[in-house]
Amino acid sequence: MRALQITEYGDNSVLTIADVTLPHPTGSQVLVTVEAAALNPLDAALRSGYAQALMPLQFPATLGGDVAGVVAAVGPDVTGFSVGDRVYGNAYTLLGGSGAIAEQALVQARNLAAVPEGLSSVDAASMPVAGTTAVEAVDHNLHLQAGQKVYISGGSGAVGSAAIQVAKHLGAHVATTASGDGVDLVRGLGADEVFDHTTDDFSEHLREFDAVLDAVGGASLEKSYGILRRGGTLVTVIGELDQAAGEERGLTLVRQAAQSEEVLRELTGYLAAGVITPRVGATFPLEEAAAAFTALETRSVRGKVVISLLS
């Protein structure tokens, strides 16, 4: 079967489509016939080597985490999945998978869930990483309640847009940032206050917020401490925390680096109920994986970039 692999770090020139044979699943592995795999910012960081200090790859490495497809075989310890089930989840090699961007992938059963009824494989593949990140942050780290005020940076992105939808579902007041056509997008998701980060500074307008979900980092994160009320909570999924700024204001600070396993099932509930709607920007065949990475890195596509393995 064909797989998108690299044997060294670099730009898109290191991407190759290799012929790979996967072993029969053992233990709690599930062999998935991949129908779609989505790209995340992490995939470009893994390919380039930017993330290698924290997340070194073993070469040859099959890229990709977000995956959707059909169960082809299960290991002896797998319960809850059978051959023919439609599944989606996370096939990152860092999480014990074999990599998503391939015609077949081995995935740990704990990193898989049933595709919600009516969701296409392309839509399902677009959700696991960004969706679980948003659900973990809003439900488990911010513990957001109805009537609370939350600021979500990068609301037009994959994590931010899922977080806005969950926060509005919970009855929170949502302020967010976006630019260009992202401004209309986040308004359409129900955001109550929208700031174009290219022309306006959210921190000059927001005060006494209960919660912040930072999906941008850098200067945006630095300005977020000052908008929180004493005792508020700040979660970042990308930036470095300023503990002194947090202590000064009595904040709870969380650097969210990974998601707990049950969150994929919670995401499935939100997708099944229509609380979170997938947003796919472009689909590429495996042969055009380099173009897919370019679309991701140049941010030329609004919405998720998905590689379809269905011919």
Ligand X SMILES: NC(=O)c1ccc[n+]([C@@H]2O[C@H](COP(=O)([O-])OP(=O)(O)OC[C@H]3O[C@@H](n4cnc5c(N)ncnc54)[C@H](OP(=O)(O)O)[C@@H]3O)[C@@H](O)[C@H]2O)c1
Contacts with ligand X by CB under 6 A lie at: 40-42, 129-130, 133, 153-154, 156-160, 177-180, 182, 197, 215-216, 220, 237-238, 256-258
Give me the least distance between CB of 78 and ligand X, in Å please.
25
Give the Cα separation of 89 and 95 in Å (integer). Answer: 11
Kindly tell me which of 60 and 217 has the beta carbon lying closer to ligand X.
217
The tokens describing 113, both together, are 């869930």
Kindly tell me which of 78 and 135 has the beta carbon lying closer to ligand X.
135
Give me the least distance between CB of 185 and ligand X, in Å please.
8
Kindly tell me which of 29 and 176 has the beta carbon lying closer to ligand X.
176
Give me the least distance between CB of 183 and ligand X, in Å please.
7
Angle, in degrees to the nearest 10, between helices 41-48 and 289-298: 110
Give me the least distance between CB of 45 and ligand X, in Å please.
7
- Residue pair 72/107 in contact by the 8 Å Cβ criterion: no
State whether residue 37 is helix, strand or coil: strand
Residue 187: how many CB atoms within 10 A of its CB?
15
Report the relative pairing of strands 173-178 and 193-196 from DSSP bridges: parallel
Kindly tell me which of 39 and 119 has the beta carbon lying closer to ligand X.
39
Give me the least distance between CB of 135 and ligand X, in Å please.
11
Closest residue (Cβ) to ligand X? 157
Give me the least distance between CB of 62 and ligand X, in Å please.
19
Give me the least distance between CB of 278 and ligand X, in Å please.
13
Residue 192: how many CB atoms within 10 A of its CB?
15
Kindly tell me which of 15 and 42 has the beta carbon lying closer to ligand X.
42
Give the Cα separation of 125 and 217 in Å (integer). Answer: 25
Angle, in degrees to the nearest 10, between helices 158-169 and 263-272: 70
Listed residue (37, 65, 126, 45) closest to 304, CA to CA: 126
Residue 173: exposure state from Cβ atoms within 10 A (0-12, 13-18, ≥19): middle
Kindly tell me which of 69 and 182 has the beta carbon lying closer to ligand X.
182
Give the Cα separation of 46 and 54 in Å (integer). Answer: 10
Give the Cα separation of 31 and 212 in Å (integer). Answer: 38
Kindly tell me which of 78 and 124 has the beta carbon lying closer to ligand X.
124
